[in-house]
Structure 1
Amino acid sequence: METSKTSTPPPGPTTTDRSQTRRPPYDPGVAAALETIGKAPVFAPLTLESITQMRQYAVPEDISALDLEQRDYTVPGYGGEPLTLTVLRRRDHVGAGPGVFNVHGGGMVMGNRMTGISLVAPWVAAHDVVAVSVEYRLAPEHPDPVPVEDCYAALCWVGENADDLQIDPARILLAGASAGGGLAAGVALLARDRGGPNLVGQFLLCPMLDDRDATVSTHQFDGLGAWDRSSNLTGWTALLGERRASDDVSIYAAPARALDLSGLPPTYLDVGSAEVFRDETVAYASKLWEGGVAAELHVWPGGTHGWEAFIPGSVMAHTATAARESWVTRLLQAAAKEPTQ
């Protein structure tokens, strides 16, 4: 297993005295929303003991207005264990077009393949892509490397069965939010290093990349926000156990540890300025640029983790949606002009 022997030191300063008293302010709308919902159980800090209870708060997302065709498949995951995939396509879809491989969030310990599906479902409707969302196995019952290897095995199955899925295997976009963003980044590294399916891009929304939790932003938002430092430590501990923050962690489990990000596809990164994942996302973007990768980074001022769900009608939320849509549109247009292999 590739471990942190080929990894980079934690990004940014580790001193916490000033960072615990100074932090970027929340957007006023975000602050008001956090104040209103802060006492709801779903926003309580996650602990290893509360994982089972917190899983009960998963709410299915309603995408029925898009009127998409939905099919489920059972495919082999890591070690041959069965996984469920959901495939979404437009009802008028014909031929092989781009595919989106979606990895759901949930701190490595919660969620299912339909969690956060509203991120990619509109791309199916707007761009006639075929979206595939994977139900990977969760920690702590299934610790690393199971989640990322499940996702990679499912991606390989998609590549091998692209014709039946009506996907062009040379035009697959990886997408994920939060833990799903971290897993998507790990899958991209696996595909690069193992010669896996061709990826035209990776879309990483507030990705969970670094198990070491040593950045300024993770200390700034300890006990604050929708996903704070203590919850993040719980997620990583569930995934890695006693290996968390040690030298025995794979770059595929914690992509922020990778020294070399060359050879990865064009990448979109998106994070709030007032959340735990800010600094590791910014550092990952810099490492991508260092490796010669085309990367686009957006840091939304005053945004907590998943901030757009709190202020969906705001100018900033509309601006973020437009930026994401612009990147996806440009990526797919560029991919359509390149000859497939």
Structure 2
Amino acid sequence: MALTIDPQVLDGLSRFVGADAVPPPVGDVATRRANSAELFQRLTDTRTPPPGIKRTDYTATGHDGAEIGMAWFAGASPSGAAVVYLHGGGMILPMQPVYDVAMRAYAADSGASMLLVDYRVAPEHPHPTPVEDCYTGLMWLAEHCAELGVDPARIAVMGDSAGGGLAAGVALLARDRGGPALAQQILIYPMLDDRTVEPDPQLPPEYLVWNYDDNRTGWGALLGAAAGGPDVSPYAAPARATDLAGLPDTYIDVGDLDIFRNENIDYARRLIDAGVPTELRVLPGCPHAFEAFAEQAAVSQRVMADRLVRLRSL
């Protein structure tokens, strides 16, 4: 018997995702970008930004000399905690603009300030550029703590989907390079493993917001011919890391109708085995990005409350 979707989530999802949509073929990045731009603009149009949060734009110089855009979101009385946030998009979608409201909401509801990094995406910018751009954002924040009113001991890295995978990659880079010490990594249904390409019979295809063809496309764009092979860097696909010891306290949430479910559960188990305090939430009846499509669903409200608990604990 296949898993079933939460009725409230299905109601929200059906408002935005048409059942008769024709999926683009593997490798078609342009169509995925066009479809996602239209979809996420409609989602954004339904959101009202909370008051009291100021946005300030900055740039930092990346590993290759390029200028990396960043947006800083802070309230009038920030807590001193800060989060480097990395947006989703399957490694191929430049989605930073549609995250403005989400960053304001996290900052308003938690007191933590948010640094949203506009990292460059594949295939125009394959690995290691995306994760290096994100690490640049972390280094910039660590170097500007005093002027931003940030406690350097209260910095976290957070991201959703591809951004969750990049957040995990940044945490590995920070550990291995002796970079800024992270208080937490908060991974929202993270994209961790380039080998997730075979369909799971428990997952009804009609509920896969991000499906296996999408996954092949995203990883192929990021890694090229190396995708799925033996020589993939753990900074690109953190599930490839053989040593997870020394990583920061970790929070992961994922729906049970998400193709990333098993790789997320396995990563959480391996973190625990490595001695890393880890909290894992697996949400029944929830596909990828469920809380974005069904903001008012009870399960969405619960998972957002869980994320805010982590942000407030920084």
CA shift digits 1:18-41 (9 cap, x unpaired): xxxx53111123334445544379
Q: What amino acid sits opposite 1:39 in the alignment?
A: G
Whether 1:54 aligns to 2:35 is yes
CA shift digits 1:185-228 (9 cap, x unpaired): 00000000001111100110110000011566498455642111
CA contact (8 A) 1:55 1:111 kept: no
Of residues 49, 61, 68, the one that matches 1:83 is 68
CA contact (8 A) 1:218 1:277 kept: no
Classify the secondary structure of the residue corresponding to 1:269: strand
Q: What's 1:208 paired with? A: 191
Q: What's 2:237 paired with? A: 254
**Higher mean C-alpha displacement, 269-278 vs 42-51:** 42-51
Aligned pairs for 1:90-129 within 5 A: 90-93=75-78, 97-129=80-112
Whether 1:193 aligns to 2:169 is no
Whether 1:277 aligns to 2:256 is no
Query: Which blocks of at least 5 consecutive residues in structure 2 are unaligned?
Result: none
> Residue 319 and residue 34 in structure 1: after superposition, are their counterparts in 2 closer, same or farther (change >3 A)?
closer
**Higher mean C-alpha displacement, 109-118 vs 316-325:** 109-118
Classify the secondary structure of the residue corresponding to 1:84: strand
2:87 & 2:67 partners in 1: Cα distance? 18
1:42 & 1:326 partners in 2: Cα distance? 37
Q: TM-score, length-normalised on structure 2? A: 0.89
The offset of 1:115, in angstroms, is 3.4
Classify the secondary structure of the residue corresponding to 1:64: coil
> Residue 39 and residue 63 in structure 1: after superposition, are their counterparts in 2 closer, same or farther (change >3 A)?
closer
CA contact (8 A) 2:11 2:294 kept: no
Classify the secondary structure of the residue corresponding to 1:169: coil
Q: TM-score, length-normalised on structure 1? A: 0.83
Query: Which blocks of at least 5 consecutive residues in structure 1 are unaligned?
Result: 1-21, 333-341
2:123 & 2:304 partners in 1: Cα distance? 33
Classify the secondary structure of the residue corresponding to 2:233: coil
CA contact (8 A) 1:42 1:54 kept: no
CA contact (8 A) 2:53 2:108 kept: yes
| RMSD (CA atoms) | 2.4
2:131 & 2:142 partners in 1: Cα distance? 17
Of residues 67, 81, 84, the one that matches 2:52 is 67
Q: What's 1:267 paired with? A: 250
The offset of 1:236, in angstroms, is 0.8
Q: What's 1:25 paired with? A: 4
2:23 & 2:51 partners in 1: Cα distance? 33
Of residues 256, 279, 287, the one that matches 1:296 is 279
Aligned pairs for 1:111-190 within 5 A: 111-190=94-173
> Residue 127 and residue 280 in structure 1: after superposition, are their counterparts in 2 closer, same or farther (change >3 A)?
same
Q: Percent identity?
A: 40
2:8 & 2:206 partners in 1: Cα distance? 19
> Residue 328 and residue 257 in structure 1: after superposition, are their counterparts in 2 closer, same or farther (change >3 A)?
same
Q: What amino acid sits opposite 2:165 in the alignment?
A: G
Classify the secondary structure of the residue corresponding to 1:268: strand
> Residue 326 and residue 130 in structure 1: after superposition, are their counterparts in 2 closer, same or farther (change >3 A)?
closer
2:16 & 2:194 partners in 1: Cα distance? 27
> Residue 56 and residue 216 in structure 1: after superposition, are their counterparts in 2 closer, same or farther (change >3 A)?
closer
CA contact (8 A) 1:68 1:89 kept: yes
Q: Work out the number of aligned pairs and report it.
A: 308
2:103 & 2:2 partners in 1: Cα distance? 32
CA contact (8 A) 1:139 1:239 kept: yes
Q: What amino acid sits opposite 1:246 in the alignment?
A: G
The offset of 1:133, in angstroms, is 0.6
Q: What amino acid sits opposite 1:48 in the alignment?
A: V
> Residue 72 and residue 42 in structure 1: after superposition, are their counterparts in 2 closer, same or farther (change >3 A)?
farther
Classify the secondary structure of the residue corresponding to 1:186: helix
The offset of 1:118, in angstroms, is 4.4
